[in-house]
Amino acid sequence: MKLIHAILFLLLIVGCQQEQPASDPDDGLHFAVKQTQHMLDTLGVLQKDRLPKSVDKSGRMTQSDIYDWTSGFFPGSLWYLYEFSKNDTLKQQAIHWTELLKPIQFFSGHHDVGFMINCSYGNAFRITGDTAYRSVMVQTAKSLMKRYNPKVGAILSWDADKGWQKEKGWKYPVIIDNMMNLELLFKASQYTGDSTFYKAAVSHADKTMQHHFRPDYSSYHVVDYDPESGAALHHQTAQGDADSSAWARGQAWGLYAYTFCYRETGLKRYLEQAEHIANFILQHPRLPADKVPYWDFDAPGIPDTYRDASAAAIIASALIDLAKETKGDASATYRQTAETIVKNLSNSPYRAALGTNQGFILKHSVGSLPHQNEIDVPLAYADYYYIEALMKLRK
């Protein structure tokens, strides 16, 4: 009998020593700090002027130059982790990687400068209060405004006469992702008192709400406009499965953006739009039980196809904000769902083991399956929005 008790006791000890499922935001952030230090160590032997982006098929880190749309996410992650840890080494790294992006303030070659500068310089200014960061944000907003056409009432996403976009025959393509740039315009209006930024952001949000969304509040990826009349010419996709499908990350961008549009303007139509998008996502019959969506809600082969942890992280971060803007059962549902997503992302199979994955935190994201680019890999923006969601939850 004593032997049996001894065996049971040993089994209990072993069980307690095994890693327990992560659920507390601070646990996730402590892990993120350690994993990011591993990434910084890896970057020490790579090009220090190129930013972490993903991992290739051979398991090596891929990096981008400052003009890639993903360039702001790694500096932004560093600022969040410094804010959490007060680790001065992380602060110095955040400063270094952020200041690499300084030339972006004069760049108007594509629309993604909102991602690039708001995530990096935006967090830097919010945390430090250094007005030099704010100045870069304002100048970037001015550069972004060069892509705004008042006849269309929206910001041009991609130059239609370049690369693969030219083959599509588009005239003035606007993608749902472009909504995310509006936060930078709202901030620039707030910082300068210039309502031009605000009016352009509202116009773009309204135009997108009018033409990008189907009756069920799923969104098209691309709407092509006539640059003279502003009429919508084509409803298509670039990264989704089909023109008629609901590309998961596109739905996430819409949810996130209309939530902050309401926060920045107080216009109820944006709150209603955000709730409609949330309901489309959360009530979708093909949303998995762990709330980490497939790369497209209409992808062929479900359930035997790829998940997109990046879409899940964006959705979680957005739902936390939406819960604060709503009341009652809806608010509780948004908050609880966000917590569920973050908890699941914080554990296997989505979170990498410490010291692996080239220092990226999450696995199983999809960049663009139609382009056969970054499929089932870690992505810098998946980590950014996951860390952001953790920071929001702990507050």
Q: How far apart are CA 284 and CA 172, in angstroms?
A: 31
Query: Which own/partner contact pairs does 115-118 have at CB distance under 8 Å and 24+ positions apart?
Result: 115/69, 115/70, 115/72, 115/73, 115/180, 115/181, 115/381, 116/66, 116/69, 116/71, 116/72, 116/140, 117/72, 117/184, 118/72, 118/181, 118/183, 118/184, 118/187
Answer yes or no: is 237 a known binding residue. yes
Pairwise CA distance, residues 124 & 230, whole Å: 37
Copy the structure tokens of residue 388. 């952001």
Nearest to 367 by CA among 351, 353, 382, 347: 382
Q: Identify the residue whose tokens are 């399956």.
A: 369
Cα(36)–Cα(75) distance, integer angstroms:
11
CA distance readout (Å), 71 to 23, 65, 198, 267 = 29, 7, 25, 31
Task: Tell me: is residue 368 an annotated ligand-binding position.
Answer: yes
* Three-state secondary-structure class, residue 91: helix
Q: Which residues are annotated as catalytic?
A: 112, 177
Nearest to 84 by CA among 26, 35, 15: 26
* Rounded CA Rg of the chain: 21
Under the phi-then-psi rule, with left for phi > 0, alpha for psi from -120 to 50, and beta for the rest, what region is 214? beta
Cβ neighbours around 293 below 10 Å, total: 27
Tokens found for residue 321 = 């904000």
What is the C-alpha to C-alpha distance for residues 67 and 61, in angstroms, rounded to an integer?
18
Are the C-beta atoms of 66 and 377 separated by less than 8 Å?
no
112 is in an annotated binding site: yes
CA distance 129 to 327: 32
Q: Which two tokens stand for residue 312?
A: 């899940």
Binding site feature residues for substrate = 112, 177, 237, 249, 253, 368
Binding site feature residues = 112, 177, 237, 249, 253, 368
